């Protein structure tokens, strides 16, 4: 049992990771971004909400991060700006949050002597696959300001391991999906439009392929990496090792929902040509050295996601494009 700080705990993946940590018997301190409403994001709906230790702060503020990390055995760093389209609008916001925020976590962990440090990366750091499946030694290519900021954060983390011996591990998830995901992602975008009764779906590029991993499987992978000391100073991919095109994915979702749909390309949803990542397929050899195995196939994961979105349609706005 460890006392773990989870940054970005109020978000999609962060809230699922908090659940996984609690189920594994760990004590969890949740760092959520300060807001005047006192909102805990997805943590608000936790059945055992009163048992949570929730701290409000800002990942961009070193003093805040260090104060909230004090007394913890480990940190699972997920706080980040993650929407790719918005990174075209405000690149500097991604530098300040993703790069400087990661520095604040690393330096705080270093000064406090924290023994377990996990930094969350993304398969977007690989850019379009130059070889498949993509292993951890694949070249890193910043094809969007978002991916560039994550590459910088990852390299900073590795430098802290090499320079100061900080026990950093980098978890690099491929495309995560499931309940609580925002409508900026393809799966909730499609599902919420169908639930709203739309027969014509507004989407971007349909040809790129993605390696999809259900969020609960991804959360369990974080704990597998946490428990493996040999991963210190390494990157660990997390994915299923299967790919599907966006177009085929839409048809799978429609089939699960027993819906017939027509796809309409909408210009604002299409990435700039040189920025589009055309193919992602995970080489998960390293994570499979642990006891972790994915428990959800795509069909089961989509069904659980649809059920969640059906029950929470009021939280989504399918009529508008969420960058």
Residues 54 and 118 in one domain: yes
Q: 191 lies in a domain? A: yes
Quote the pLDDT of residue 48: 76
Q: 17 lies in a domain? A: yes
Q: 287 lies in a domain? A: no
Residues 67 and 40 in one domain: yes
Residues 125 and 204 in one domain: no
Residues 268 and 218 in one domain: no
Quote the pLDDT of residue 184: 84
Q: Say which CATH number the domain at 222 has.
A: 3.40.50.720
Quote the pLDDT of residue 322: 58
Quote the pLDDT of residue 70: 98
Residues 131 and 148 in one domain: yes
Residues 53 and 80 in one domain: yes
Half-sphere exposure of 299 (CA within 13 A, CB side): 1
Domain tally for the chain?
Answer: 2
Residues 21 and 56 in one domain: yes
SS (H, E, C) the chain: CCEEEEECCCCHHHHHHHHHHHHCCCEEEEEEECCCCCCCHHHHHCCCHHHCEEEEECCCCHHHHHHHHCCCCEEEECCCCCCHHHHHHCHHHHHHHHHHHHHHHHHHHHHHCCCEEEEECCHHHHCCCCCCCECCCCCCCCCCHHHHHHHHHHHHHHHHHHHHCCCEEEEEECEEECCCCCCCCHHHHHHHHHHCCCCEEEECCCCCEECEEEHHHHHHHHHHHHCCHHHCCCEEEECCCCCEEHHHHHHHHHHHCCCCCEEEECHHHCCCHHHCCCECCECCCCHHHCCCCCCCCHHHHHHHHHHHHHHCHHHCCCCCCCC
Q: Say which CATH number the domain at 202 has.
A: 3.90.25.10
Residues 161 and 52 in one domain: yes
Which residues have a Cβ under 8 Å from the Cβ of 58 and sit 6 or more positions away? 33, 34, 64
Residues 192 and 222 in one domain: no
Q: 322 lies in a domain? A: no
Domain that holds residue 140: 3-176+214-238
Cis ω for the linkage preceding 133 (within 30 of 0):
yes
Q: Which residues in the chain land under pLDDT 70?
A: 267-271, 319-323
Residues 66 and 135 in one domain: yes
Q: 11 lies in a domain? A: yes
Quote the pLDDT of residue 321: 56
Residues 272 and 228 in one domain: no
Quote the pLDDT of residue 45: 85
The pTM (predicted TM-score) of the whole model is 0.94
Residues 140 and 194 in one domain: no
């Amino acid at each position: 049992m460890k006392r773990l700080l989870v940054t970005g705990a109020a978000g999609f993946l962060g809230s699922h990771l908090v659940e996984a940590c609690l189920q594994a018997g760990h004590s969890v301190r949740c760092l959520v971004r300060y807001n005047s409403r006192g909102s805990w994001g997805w943590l608000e709906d936790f059945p055992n909400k009163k048992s949570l230790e929730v701290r409000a702060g800002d990942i961009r503020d070193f003093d805040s991060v260090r104060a909230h990390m004090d007394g913890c055995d480990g940190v699972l760093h997920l706080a980040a700006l993650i929407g790719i389209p918005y990174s075209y609008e405000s690149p500097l916001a991604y530098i300040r949050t993703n790069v400087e925020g990661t520095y604040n976590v690393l330096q705080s962990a270093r000064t406090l002597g924290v023994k377990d440090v996990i930094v969350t990366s993304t398969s977007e750091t690989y850019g379009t696959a130059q070889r498949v499946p993509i292993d951890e030694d694949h070249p890193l290519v910043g094809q969007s300001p978002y991916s560039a900021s994550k590459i910088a954060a990852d390299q900073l983390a590795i430098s802290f391991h090499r320079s100061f011996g900080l026990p950093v591990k980098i978890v690099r998830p491929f495309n995560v999906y499931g309940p609580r995901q925002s409508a900026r992602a393809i799966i909730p975008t499609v599902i919420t439009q169908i639930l709203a009764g739309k027969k014509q779906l507004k989407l971007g590029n349909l040809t790129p392929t993605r390696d999809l991993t259900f969020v609960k499987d991804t959360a369990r992978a974080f704990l597998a990496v946490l428990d493996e000391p040999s991963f210190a100073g390494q990157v660990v991919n997390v994915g299923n090792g299967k790919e599907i095109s966006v177009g085929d994915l839409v048809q799978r979702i429609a089939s699960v929902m027993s819906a017939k749909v027509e796809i309409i390309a909408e210009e604002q949803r299409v990435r700039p040509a040189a920025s589009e990542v055309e193919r992602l397929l995970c080489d998960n050899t390293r994570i499979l050295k642990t006891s972790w195995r994915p428990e959800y196939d795509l069909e089961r994961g989509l069904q659980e996601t649809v059920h969640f979105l059906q029950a929470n349609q009021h939280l989504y706005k399918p009529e508008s494009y969420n960058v």
